Amino acid sequence: MTIGVVVFPGSNCDRDVRWATEGCLGVPTRFLWHEERDLSGLDAVIIPGGFSYGDYLRCGAIARFAPILQEVAAFVERGGRVLGICNGFQVLTEMGLLPGALTRNEKLHFVCEDTPLQVSPGRCQWLKGYADGETIHLPIAHGEGRYQVDPGQLQQLEDSGCVVFRYQANPNGSVGAVAGLTNPAGTVLGLMPHPERACDPATGGIDGRRLLASLLG
Amino acid sequence: MPVYSARVLVSLRPSVLDPAGEATRSAASRLGVEGIAKLRIGKAVELEIEAPDLATARQRLSLLSDRLLANSVIENWTLEVAASGEGLGTSSPVGEG
């Protein structure tokens, strides 16, 4: 089992993710520079948080054209697992691997706090260890995390079990309190909260450790 | 090859909340400018493009607007194109997505 962590100019959670996967979980992890195209030997890819390419134009809009992401799209076609965290979630929506878009928080504030989430494992293969409706706590840290999709499509996502994480206190005004989504195949997961920042009791909670461990299972 | 000037206006779809626009609107009333019933913030992108003719320029800019400058999930766009030097803003928007 080996994990790849995409690194864009402006990524700032790449090392945190590697600390979590390699340091806490003991899984060999390698960085994937945005200009690379080699995903050989990887079982999962994580697109970390940060401000890829400065988030110019829109969050994730320019990252979408990075050479590495063309390979990540092909990896998804082959059934590979991809996790997008925060800016990584924004990138996945810009790529069209997940529907909708992440927009400016309703109250404009950058929100940085621990937040309770309701888990609905739905179609997501790597959330099968979670009970439906289970609550976990993860930190969030974003200014543009308000999930937006039209009401009909939201209903479709809900009905098809693609909404796997919901905010219990909806800190950013997301439609349907959506905090995380999976694709219909259950292989691509995007979420605004940061599981990699909740992997050691010393840094406040270990709910993220279980989530990342499930990705590997 | 001729050069064309263009302006792409990107605006949030009407159904999408614009909290920055709302904050700016409340600042307008603090400035003392009353009666602003609506204020929504978008982007204006100014470009120059070399193309064999106007139709080709418009086609390339439409693709650019649709696939990169705007995210159709949350945004609409309009495109104005004119031969360089003729100035923009004299013709009505030619594209919308």
CA atoms within 13 A on the CB side of A170: 10
Distance between CA atoms of residues A167 and A137, nearest Å: 10
Q: For tokens 């307008």, what's the residue?
A: B28
> Among B2, B6, B16, which residue's Cα sits nearest to residue B80?
B6
Question: Is A98 in contact with A188 (CB distance < 8 Å)?
Answer: yes
Query: pLDDT tens track of chain A, all 217 residues?
Result: 899 999 999 999 999 999 999 999 999 999 999 999 999 999 999 999 999 999 999 999 999 999 999 999 999 999 999 999 999 999 999 999 999 999 999 999 999 999 999 999 987 878 988 999 999 999 999 999 999 999 999 999 999 999 999 999 999 999 999 999 999 999 999 999 999 999 999 887 899 999 999 887 6
Give per-residue pLDDT as tens, B63-83. 999 999 999 999 999 999 998
Strand order from edge to edge, sheet including B75-83: B43-50, B3-12, B75-83, B95-96
Asked if B19 and A105 come within 8 Å (Cβ–Cβ), the reply is yes
Q: What are the phi and psi torsion angles at A28 (to 5°)?
A: -55, 130
Question: Is A107 in contact with A144 (CB distance < 8 Å)?
Answer: no
Region B53-61: mean pLDDT is 97
Give the domain range for residue A37.
3-216
Task: Give a yes or no: residue B94 inside a domain.
Answer: no
Domain count for chain A: 1
**Structure token pair of residue B91:** 């013709």
Give the domain range for residue B20.
3-86
Asked if B23 and A108 come within 8 Å (Cβ–Cβ), the reply is yes
Q: Which residues contact B94 (CB under 8 A, 6 or more apart)?
A: B58, B78, B79, B80, B81
Chain B residue numbers touching A104 (CB-CB < 8 A): 18-20
Question: Is B2 in contact with B83 (CB distance < 8 Å)?
Answer: yes
Task: Give a yes or no: residue B95 inside a domain.
Answer: no
| Residue A22 annotated among the catalytic residues of the structure | no
Distance between CA atoms of residues B58 and A184, nearest Å: 36
Nearest CA in chain A to B10: A57
Asked if B71 and A94 come within 8 Å (Cβ–Cβ), the reply is yes
Asked if A101 and B73 come within 8 Å (Cβ–Cβ), the reply is yes
Nearest CA in chain A to B42: A57
Chain A residue numbers touching B18 (CB-CB < 8 A): 104
pTM: 0.91
Which domain CATH number covers A147?
3.40.50.880
Distance between CA atoms of residues B68 and B59, nearest Å: 14
ipTM for this prediction: 0.84
Q: For tokens 């829109």, what's the residue?
A: A58
CA angle B84-B68-A89, nearest 5°?
A: 160
B89 falls in which pLDDT band (50, 70, 90)? low
CA dihedral A186, A24, A1, A117 (to 10 degrees): 0
The secondary structure of chain B as a DSSP string is: --EEEEEEEEEE-TTS--HHHHHHHHHHHHHT----------EEEEEEEE-SSHHHHHHHHHHHIIIII--TTTEEEEEEEEETTS-SSSS---EE-
| Residue A194 annotated among the catalytic residues of the structure | yes
Domain count for chain B: 1
For position A187, what pLDDT does the model report? Answer: 93
Chain A residue numbers touching B64 (CB-CB < 8 A): none
For position A78, what pLDDT does the model report? Answer: 95
Please determine, for residue B90, whether its predicted confidence score (pLDDT) is greater than 60.
Answer: no
Which domain CATH number covers B53?
3.30.1280.10
Q: For tokens 């309701």, what's the residue?
A: A118
Task: Give a yes or no: residue B96 inside a domain.
Answer: no
Percentage of chain B lying above the pLDDT 70 cut: 91
> Among A91, A79, A76, which residue's Cα sits nearest to residue A6?
A91
Task: Give a yes or no: residue B62 inside a domain.
Answer: yes
From A59, A86, A162, A199, the catalytic residue? A86
Buried residues in A68-97 as b, exposed as e (16+ CB within 10 A): bbebbeebbeeebbbbbbbbbbbbbbbbeb
